[in-house]
Amino acid sequence: MSSLDDSPSMVLITRRDLKLSRGKLAAQCAHAAVKCALRARSRKARLVERWSKSGARKIVLECEDVKQLLQLKEQAKEAGMIAMLIEDAGHTEIPAGTITVLGIGPAPKSSIDDLVKHLKLVN
């Protein structure tokens, strides 16, 4: 990723401790991405447009557990960013009501980086 590229970004933060299958993880991330995008569209329309036009960057990261996820959500909100949690309906794999993913953004890449630079990419 080039360093001069400061176009808006979205991060989807997953929980390592849930050990979700790749299909489940993908669906949960998609929930978060859509929820964030729709929320942002009504509140920060121009930002969403810039984000879409610059490739709608999404980065999938992982954290340890739900405690860390909730902490990150608070930090993102305090910084004025859109932050949406996804709770699973529990049709498959995990109990209903499990918090699976936190979506943050779209927001300026630099502000997101400050918040999540200590997290690892999901491989």
Partner 1 sequence: MGLRSFIHHLTAPAITSTVPAGRYRLAIVVNTSLKMKKGKIAAQVGHGAVKAALKCAGNNPACMDAWLSSGQAKICLKGVDDEQLLSLQQQAKDVEIQAVSIRDAGRTQIPAGSLTVVAIGPARDEDLEPITGALKLL
User: Starting at the edge strand that comes first in sequence, how are the strands of the sheet with 58-63 ordered?
Assistant: 83-87, 99-107, 9-15, 58-63, 120-121
Is residue 112 within 8 A of residue 9, CB to CB? The reply is yes
Question: Cα separations (Å) of 28 from 37, 47, 110?
Answer: 14, 23, 25
Residue with Cβ nearer partner 1 (28 or 115): 28
The single residue among 18, 59, 63, 112 that binds partner 1, judged by CB under 8 A, is 59
If you compute the radius of gyration of the chain from its CA atoms, what whole number of angstroms results?
Answer: 14
CB of 27 to partner 1, least distance (A): 5
What mask of x and - would describe binding to partner 1 in positions 12 to 51, judged by CB under 8 A? x-x------xxxxxxxxxxxxxxx-xx--x----------
Residue with Cβ nearer partner 1 (17 or 78): 17
Q: Which residues bind partner 1 (CB under 8 A)?
A: 1, 10, 12, 14, 21-35, 37-38, 41, 52, 55-56, 58-61, 89, 121-123
